[in-house]
C-alpha cells in the first residue's frame, strides 16, 4: 500500500525528481510562465505553491528554507521583492495549468503553468465579444456594403505572395537533371544561391567542394568535377550532347578502368 507516498515519481529517482522540480520552480518564478508536460506541471504546482506561501513571511528563516530549493539568489530576491507584493492577500492557488494538447514526437500531453496574477488573458476576452457584437450591429444597420467593398482588396493582398512564389519557382532550374545531384544536394545548392544551370556552370569546382564539405561528411564524398560542364550544356539547351556526356559518366564521375585511371 502507498502509505505516506505523495506526488508522482515522473520516472525519476528521488534526487533527480527533486532537481527537476527545483529547476522548474526557478524558471516559473523567473519567467512567470513555462511550457512543460501535464504530469510535470501538476507535480510542480504541489512543489512551488508551498514555497510561495512560506515566502509571505519575510524572515531570515523563510529565506533560508526557500534558498534550499531555489539556488539562484536573483530569483529568490525576485520572489520576495516582486512576486509576493503582487500576490497580496491571495490565500492560495497561485498557479494555473492550461492544457495545450499532445506533443507531436511522443504524444505527451503538454500544458502551460503560469502565475495567476501575471496572466492577462481575462482582459482580452470581453474585447472579442464586443467586436462580434459591433459586427452584427453594422450588418443590421446596412454597413455590410463597406465590408463587401473592402473584401476584393483583401483578396488581392493575399494573392500577391502566391504570384511571387510562382515567379521564384519559375526562375529556378531543376538541378537534379545534372548527374550526381540529388534532391538534397539541389536544396544545398539553392541555399547557396546556385539555383539555375548558368549559376552552376559559372561556379568553380573548388567552391562546389567547399559547399559540400560545409553540408556534412555524407556530402563531402561527392565529386562535382563534371557538374559545371553538364550545367553549361543544360543552360545552352544542348540536351542531346548532355545525354551523351552522362552516358560516359558513372554517378556524375568520370569512369575509371581497372588500373584506376580515368577513361578517355
CATH number of the domain within which 87 lies: 3.90.1030.10
Integer Cα distance of 64 and 71 in angstroms = 10
Q: Classify the phi-psi angles of 176: left when phi > 0, otherwise alpha if psi is within -120 to 50, otherwise beta.
A: alpha
Mean pLDDT of the region 114-118: 90
The answer as to whether 126 is a domain residue is no
| Helix (H) / strand (E) containing 114 | strand 109-115
Residue 123 predicted with pLDDT over 70: no
pLDDT in tens, 136-185: 555 555 544 554 444 444 443 344 444 444 444 447 888 888 888 888 88
Question: Model-level pTM greater than 0.75?
Answer: no
Between the ranges 12-26, 123-137, 167-181, 197-211, where is the mean pLDDT highest? 12-26
The last residue of a domain, from among 85, 102, 118 = 118
Residue 29 lies in a domain: yes
Q: Give domain status of residue 147, yes or no.
A: no
- Cell 531570515 belongs to residue: 60
Q: Are residues 100 and 184 in the same domain?
A: no
Task: Look over the chain and give the mean of its residue pLDDT values, rounded to a whole number.
Answer: 80
- Does residue 182 share a domain with residue 87? no
Asked whether 173 and 196 are in contact (CB, 8 A), the reply is yes
Grid cell digits, residue 8: 508522482
Closest to 54 in 3D by CA, of 5, 87, 17, 12: 87
Residue 158 lies in a domain: no
Greater model confidence, 1 or 29: 29
Domain that holds residue 101: 14-118
User: Which pLDDT score is estimated for 223?
Assistant: 85
Q: How far apart are CA 180 and CA 200, in angstroms?
A: 13
pLDDT tens digits, 49-67: 999 999 999 999 999 999 9
Query: Which of 118, 148, 167 represents a domain boundary (last residue)?
Result: 118
Last residue of a domain, one of 118, 134, 157: 118
User: What confidence category does residue 88 fall into, taking pLDDT thresholds of 50, 70 and 90?
Assistant: confident
Question: Is residue 164 one of the residues assigned to a domain?
Answer: no
Total domain count, the chain:
2
Helix, strand, or coil (residue 61): helix
At 212-258, the pLDDT tens digits run 888 887 777 788 888 888 888 888 888 888 888 888 877 767 766 65
Amino acid at each position: 500500500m502507498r502509505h505516506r507516498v505523495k506526488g508522482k515519481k515522473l520516472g525519476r529517482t528521488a534526487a533527480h525528481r527533486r532537481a527537476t522540480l527545483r529547476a522548474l520552480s526557478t524558471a516559473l518564478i523567473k519567467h512567470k510562465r513555462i511550457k512543460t508536460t501535464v504530469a510535470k506541471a501538476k507535480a510542480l504546482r504541489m512543489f512551488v505553491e508551498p514555497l510561495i506561501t512560506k515566502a509571505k513571511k519575510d524572515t531570515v528563516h523563510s529565506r533560508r528554507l526557500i534558498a534550499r530549493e531555489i539556488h539562484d539568489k536573483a530569483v529568490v530576491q525576485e520572489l520576495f521583492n516582486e512576486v509576493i507584493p503582487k500576490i497580496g492577500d491571495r490565500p492560495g492557488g497561485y498557479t494555473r495549468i492550461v492544457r495545450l494538447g499532445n506533443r507531436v514526437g511522443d504524444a505527451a500531453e503538454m500544458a502551460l503553468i503560469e502565475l495567476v496574477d501575471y496572466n492577462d488573458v481575462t482582459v482580452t476576452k470581453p474585447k472579442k465579444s464586443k467586436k462580434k457584437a459591433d459586427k452584427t450591429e453594422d450588418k443590421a444597420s446596412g454597413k455590410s456594403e463597406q465590408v463587401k467593398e473592402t473584401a476584393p482588396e483583401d483578396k488581392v493582398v493575399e494573392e500577391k505572395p502566391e504570384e511571387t512564389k510562382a515567379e521564384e519557382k519559375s526562375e529556378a532550374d531543376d538541378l537534379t537533371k545534372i548527374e550526381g545531384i540529388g534532391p538534397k544536394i539541389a536544396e544545398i545548392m539553392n541555399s547557396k544561391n546556385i539555383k539555375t544551370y548558368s549559376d552552376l556552370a559559372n561556379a568553380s569546382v573548388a567552391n562546389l567542394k567547399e559547399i559540400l564539405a560545409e553540408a556534412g561528411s555524407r556530402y563531402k564524398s561527392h565529386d562535382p568535377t563534371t557538374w559545371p560542364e553538364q550545367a553549361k550544356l543544360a543552360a545552352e539547351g544542348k540536351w542531346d550532347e548532355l545525354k551523351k556526356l552522362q552516358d560516359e559518366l558513372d554517378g556524375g564521375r568520370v569512369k575509371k578502368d581497372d588500373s584506376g585511371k580515368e577513361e578517355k
